[in-house]
Structure 1
Amino acid sequence: MSSTSLVEEPAREAKRRRLYWGGSWLLTVCAIFSALLVGAVLIVVGDEQSRASAQYFFSYPWDFFANAWYSVRDAYLALLQGAVYNPNFSGTAALRPVSETLVNATPLILAGLGVALSFRVGLFNIGAQGQIITGAVSAAWVGFTLDLPVVLHVVVAVVAGIAGGLVWGGIVGLLKARTGAHEVITTIMLNYVAINLLTYLLGVRWFQRPPYNQAISSQVDASAELPPLLGSSLRVNAGLVLAVLAAVFVWWLFERSRLGFRLRAVGANPNAARTAGMAVGRLQVVSMAFAGGLAGLAGATQVLGVTGSVTSSVAGNIGFDAITVALLGRNNPYGVIAAGVLFGGLRAGAVQMQSATGVPVDLVGVLQATIVLFIAAPALIRSVFRLRSGGGAGVGSELAGGWTR
């Protein structure tokens, strides 16, 4: 190869990556817009005035279009007000929508990073739900059992949450490396183990809150709680900072570290990595342990920063929504942050939307599922919006590539 080619090749690669990511994100935006259109149709169908005016559509079509427009506008405006800014609030209360969005986004980002990390190594981590539970239980136990100084107590509780998820994820990696057990099966089964373990713990006295007649753990000590970021009246806390730092760590791990290079090599081709002398099994254990640790941190932030105690619903649907967040973020740490904030905003705004317009909060679940459906069908989005295939041709393969890289 000539010296000119050696100089031009990096430039070509940089240009290709810019086109690739530009087209990729354009498709994502178009997919989100398409999902909002689907949601608009559902809002119109569910609106009583729109249905009534549809009965005489051919006589006075304007009535139907006006009612449809107002129903969609009011619903999405209420969704936006509940997620970003509500002009009816003043002072600190004006920041409440943003605070709730970030509170909802924090565990989604952390668990989504864990799922994305395992996808990049070629492993399907469906066990974030169980890893969140074990992280929450570990952090809560340290939070209400140990008597430590303020800063030290928080640090130890957070580390305990990471360790709980790390061990739960490491078990999956170990089974994969030693026995060849498929990680999808083992993670799903460990989810059930974690759920039933939590049910058991909520029934024993050393974990249960007095007077021991309800399924809730003891309250975490104030010294172990994550400090608020915007004042005590708003729920957003230092867990958000931990989520951003975790995203930076994942980016550094894959882009700047030797370990990350080996993990990417295993994800790209485990047989070639094994031939090159890499310990594939050990790297699989490490990747699943890291993924579990991130999900465990999500559980810790829930207990130490939001709920203050553990209940049977401590994980909610965060572990399963994290898979969606990882896919929407294309297994990129910063993409996961954006996807987590988007889904956190949808959750926060859904309450305001239902209270102001009567549109059920279940619409948010439809929007989330539809977004992923369109993300997984890039050819459909390209054909609808007449996008060139050059920049975004790899969107579908990006998801698959994230699983095998």
Structure 2
Amino acid sequence: MSDTQTSAEHRRVADDSDRWREALHRIVSGSWAVSLGAIVLAVLGGSIMIIVTDPGVQQASAYFFSRPSDTFAAIGSSVGGAYYALFRGAVWDFGADSFAGAIRPLTQSLTMATPLIMAGLGVAVGFRAGLFNIGGRGQMLVAAAAGGWIGFAVDMPWPLHMLVAVLAGMVAGAVWAGIAGVLKAYTGAHEVITTIMLNYVGFYLVSYLLATPGLLQAPGSSNPKTPHMLTSAIMPDLLGRRYNLHLGFIFALLAVAYVWWLLNRSSTGFAFRAVGENPAAAKVAGIDVPRTTVSVMLVAGALVGLAGVTQVLGTVTTGFSYDIDAGIGFDAITVALLGGSRPIGVMFAAILFGAFKAGGSVMQAAEGVPIEIVQVVQALIVLFIAAPPLVRAVFRLPQPGKRPKRGKRAARRQEVAA
């Protein structure tokens, strides 16, 4: 082989190496790496809390300097046992005597994740358009009230009854969020303030309806609770009565597909993203910014409303009260942040949080670990997601947009060759 061929072969190998290195650089410098790093740091923080609160560790640490191995063994037992119980309650029950029993924790996690996926998508759509939809609780409550009333007060055949109730809940959530959108678009009122205030309005409105006979309150009852949903309005189980996973999970997957298409393949989604990037430039480009702002909140509210009505028709079918939102409206903000406001990312983040919710109770029952530690882990995820430079510094992740050194040298070689 001639020197010219050898040199060309070396350059080809070097260019291939640079391409792989740059691809790896893009992966580790992206938002996915930061999200994964935030989860790891949050789990480590939760492990520290488990260690500090475990009685066995406290007892062994009293004589640490004489027998340090006992302390380390107690730490391993406490942390390992806690996360083993969490996994067993969220993914796979190793103690079950059949596959159907072993897979039940996973179905429970997916059930818990179903409303989080929908509500997280609603928050994510707002984030992509530069809007902060903090009103998930109010939107879920009014959607639950509208869909729930259709579910117990109107008699129709299935599946028409269920679909009408779902549509009513989505419309109610869209209208409730649309109020904040109109105020933002035409008066300049900040959506964070208006959505938070609408949370209170929605809560007290639904509380009044639940406490008033003839409206939402069950006949003959003094408790603020609705009657049972009619059978024709209930979302059927996907895997049989043994599991809680219902048709709402399919709706959640369809919502993921729709939001992906909306944001990435439609002109409306392009307008959403353009307004989110730069409203002034979007206006110059001919986009009606006020109308787009209202449209964003309508879509976001409909998605969150879908989460609310799914709670009523899929999970709490025996009647609901003013706590039907179960904190999902605020958890959705964390899910959207962790998922990078991308539909697929939101779905996986919601499944992770659903696993936390499903496995947390098993961890508490089996190992005596306070379930509040799971909530602390979720809060730490938010903290680290909000501080990407900290996560990048801890794991030595490269900054986005900054090319690796070998990539720069390859670029200079190409310039010289040109």
Do both proteins adopt the same fold according to a TM-score greater than 0.5, normalized to the shorter chain?
yes
Cα distance in 2 for partners of 1:389, 1:59 equals 46
Amino acid at match of 1:200: Y
Structure-1 residue corresponding to 2:269: 260
> Does 2:264 correspond to 1:237?
no
Cα distance in 2 for partners of 1:53, 1:160 equals 58
Cα distance in 1 for partners of 2:85, 2:248 equals 27
The answer to whether the Cα contact below 8 Å between 1:23 and 1:392 also exists between their aligned partners in 2 is no
Structure-2 residue corresponding to 1:330: 340
Structure-2 residue corresponding to 1:63: 70
Change (3 A) 1:38 1:163: same
What is the deviation of 1:186?
A: 0.6
The answer to whether the Cα contact below 8 Å between 2:224 and 2:321 also exists between their aligned partners in 1 is yes
Structure-1 residue corresponding to 2:60: 53
Amino acid at match of 2:379: A
What is the deviation of 1:200?
A: 0.3
Structure-2 residue corresponding to 1:175: 183
The answer to whether the Cα contact below 8 Å between 2:141 and 2:324 also exists between their aligned partners in 1 is yes
Structure-2 residue corresponding to 1:285: 294
Structure-2 residue corresponding to 1:136: 144
Amino acid at match of 1:98: L
Structure 1, unpaired ranges of 5+: 1-11, 394-405
Structure-2 residue corresponding to 1:272: 281
- Which of 376, 380, 389 lines up with 2:399 in the alignment? 389
Cα distance in 2 for partners of 1:36, 1:87 equals 22
> Does 2:265 correspond to 1:250?
no
Secondary structure of 1:379's match?
Answer: helix
Structure-2 residue corresponding to 1:366: 376
- Cα deviations by residue, 1:122-174 (Å, 9 ceiling, x for unpaired): 11110011101111111101111111111111111111111110110111111
Which has the larger displacement, 352-361 or 372-381?
Answer: 372-381
What is the deviation of 1:264?
A: 1.2
> Does 2:323 correspond to 1:316?
no
What is the deviation of 1:101?
A: 0.5
Cα distance in 1 for partners of 2:366, 2:35 equals 29
Structure-1 residue corresponding to 2:49: 42
The answer to whether the Cα contact below 8 Å between 1:102 and 1:345 also exists between their aligned partners in 2 is yes
> Does 2:102 correspond to 1:94?
yes
Which has the larger displacement, 204-213 or 280-289?
Answer: 204-213
Structure-1 residue corresponding to 2:116: 108
Change (3 A) 1:238 1:355: same
> Does 2:133 correspond to 1:125?
yes
What is the deviation of 1:35?
A: 1.1
The answer to whether the Cα contact below 8 Å between 1:24 and 1:391 also exists between their aligned partners in 2 is no
What is the deviation of 1:20?
A: 5.3
Secondary structure of 1:189's match?
Answer: helix
Cα distance in 2 for partners of 1:50, 1:20 equals 39
Secondary structure of 1:387's match?
Answer: coil
Cα distance in 2 for partners of 1:306, 1:87 equals 26
Cα distance in 1 for partners of 2:67, 2:308 equals 54
CA-based RMSD of the aligned residues comes to: 1.8
Change (3 A) 1:162 1:372: same
The answer to whether the Cα contact below 8 Å between 1:30 and 1:381 also exists between their aligned partners in 2 is yes
Structure-1 residue corresponding to 2:232: 223
Cα distance in 1 for partners of 2:33, 2:132 equals 26
> Does 2:30 correspond to 1:31?
no
Cα distance in 2 for partners of 1:263, 1:211 equals 48
- Cα deviations by residue, 1:249-268 (Å, 9 ceiling, x for unpaired): 11101111111111111111
Structure-2 residue corresponding to 1:3: none
Number of corresponding residues: 380
Cα distance in 1 for partners of 2:24, 2:66 equals 54
Cα distance in 2 for partners of 1:305, 1:136 equals 11
The answer to whether the Cα contact below 8 Å between 1:324 and 1:372 also exists between their aligned partners in 2 is yes
What is the deviation of 1:384?
A: 2.0
TM-score by structure 1 length? 0.90
Change (3 A) 1:118 1:300: same
The answer to whether the Cα contact below 8 Å between 2:210 and 2:226 also exists between their aligned partners in 1 is yes
Change (3 A) 1:74 1:17: closer
What is the deviation of 1:74?
A: 0.5
What is the deviation of 1:109?
A: 0.8
Amino acid at match of 2:208: Y
Which has the larger displacement, 373-382 or 319-328?
Answer: 373-382
What is the deviation of 1:26?
A: 2.2
Cα distance in 2 for partners of 1:112, 1:340 equals 7
Which has the larger displacement, 31-40 or 295-304?
Answer: 31-40
Structure 2, unpaired ranges of 5+: 1-18, 404-418
What is the deviation of 1:388?
A: 2.8
Greater radius of gyration (CA)? 2
The answer to whether the Cα contact below 8 Å between 2:29 and 2:398 also exists between their aligned partners in 1 is no
Structure-2 residue corresponding to 1:345: 355
- Which of 155, 158, 162 lines up with 1:154 in the alignment? 162
Secondary structure of 1:389's match?
Answer: coil
Amino acid at match of 1:54: S
Q: Kindly, what percent of the aligned residue pairs are identical?
A: 49
Cα distance in 1 for partners of 2:294, 2:97 equals 50
Cα distance in 2 for partners of 1:380, 1:22 equals 13
What is the deviation of 1:295?
A: 0.3
Structure-2 residue corresponding to 1:74: 81
